[in-house]
């Protein structure tokens, strides 16, 4: 038996549209598309948030109408999520900026350090190593965005890109200014400190990439399937035995290594801020795993083994 769906504005309770003869097996994504095809369409599907209660949570696109607690006539409440932008575009913009900005300071383009230093080169090996590490990190991120990551949500609010770019681009400029400064001094313990830090950085970058590949293999292309991630034959993935989000663990480790290598305060602060944010994300994902999977491994912590 087909259902009728009325969509009301969550704020004003004004009726926005009435959909007649909707199939019971219709998903929320299909209802959003029907909403878009009404005589006076204003919001494309990615901007739409449909919910059962005006102040409730948004329904998932894959939710099926007949499985929702509604009668013959289903009342859904609409909220406008605002202009949206694809996650791929967001990540490409976030990561291309730091790559380009850092190189401006590395090559000492005019008007940064003074005319006598225009296009000069640092005499310290660690400065060149730092540029290679920083650039390779963001090149890796760009390539992963294009060829590795599979996104469960296609878009995010356009306004967020300005906040995210301010964070990534601003920190990149701040750390690059000091690391490539003509008066920059190498780390206290010289080559030994640099070699140790470089080893940490490389290992963590390989680990981070390995985790991203393992997570990619969990989700077939075009699917939103969620599974418990487990270690594979790749030793870098064995960290899954102890933490839910080893990609964040390795990411933090990379920046700690970079901070030790450069002995630069802005890098240390960037690592601290990044660790704080990634801990919040990791805790959220850990809670989701525990809620969704009853057989989730009990020994795992969100981001730091045995601690956090």
DSSP class of residue 306 equals T
| More confidently predicted of 57 and 208 | 208
| More confidently predicted of 193 and 41 | 193
Helices 246-262 + 190-218 axis angle, to 10: 160
Give pLDDT, residue 40: 66
Mean pLDDT along residues 189-203: 97
CA distance 105 to 173: 8
CB 216 within 8 A of CB 145: no
| More confidently predicted of 122 and 20 | 122
Mean pLDDT along residues 173-196: 97
**Domain annotation for the chain: domains and CATH numbers:** 1-23+60-80 (3.10.20.90), 82-186 (no CATH), 187-308 (no CATH)
How many other CB atoms are found less than 10 A from the CB of residue 58? 15
pLDDT class of 169 with cuts at 50, 70, 90: very high
CA distance 168 to 96: 10
Give pLDDT, residue 222: 63
Give pLDDT, residue 157: 87
pLDDT tens sequence across 201-211: 999 999 999 99
Mean pLDDT along residues 57-74: 85
pLDDT tens sequence across 223-273: 667 889 999 999 999 999 999 999 999 999 999 999 999 999 999 999 999
CA distance 197 to 204: 11
- β-sheet with 73-80: strand ranges across: 15-22, 3-9, 73-80, 48-51
Tokens of 232: 């594979």
Q: Does position 1 have pLDDT exceeding 70, yes or no?
A: no
């Amino acid at each position: 038996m087909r259902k009728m769906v009325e969509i009301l504005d969550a704020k004003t309770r004004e009726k926005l549209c009435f959909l007649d003869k909707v199939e019971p097996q219709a998903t929320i994504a299909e209802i959003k598309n029907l909403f878009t095809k009404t005589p006076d369409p204003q919001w494309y599907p990615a901007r739409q948030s449909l919910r059962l209660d005006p102040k409730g949570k948004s329904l998932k696109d894959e939710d099926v109408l007949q499985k929702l607690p509604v009668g013959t006539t289903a009342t859904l409440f609409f909220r406008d999520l605002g202009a949206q932008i694809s996650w791929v575009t967001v990540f490409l913009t976030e990561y291309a900026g730091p790559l380009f900005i850092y190189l401006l300071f590395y090559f000492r383009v005019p008007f940064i350090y003074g005319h006598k230093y225009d296009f000069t080169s640092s005499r310290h090996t660690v400065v060149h190593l730092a540029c290679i590490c920083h650039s390779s990190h963001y090149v890796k991120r760009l390539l992963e965005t294009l060829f590795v990551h599979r996104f469960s949500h296609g878009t995010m609010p356009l306004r967020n890109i300005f906040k995210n770019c301010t964070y990534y681009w601003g920190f990149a400029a701040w750390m690059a200014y000091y690391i490539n400064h003509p008066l920059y001094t190498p780390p206290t313990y010289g080559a030994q400190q640099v070699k140790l830090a470089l080893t940490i950085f490389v290992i963590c970058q390989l680990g981070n990439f390995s985790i991203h590949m393992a997570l990619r293999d969990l989700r077939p292309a075009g699917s939103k399937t969620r599974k418990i991630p487990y270690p594979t034959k790749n030793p870098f993935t064995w960290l899954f035995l102890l933490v839910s989000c080893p990609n964040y663990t390795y990411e933090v480790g990379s920046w700690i290594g970079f901070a030790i290598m450069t002995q630069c305060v802005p890098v240390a602060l960037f690592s601290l801020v990044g660790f704080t944010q990634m801990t919040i994300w990791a805790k959220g994902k850990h809670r989701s795993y525990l809620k969704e999977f009853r057989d989730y491994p009990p020994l795992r912590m969100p981001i730091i083994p045995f601690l956090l």
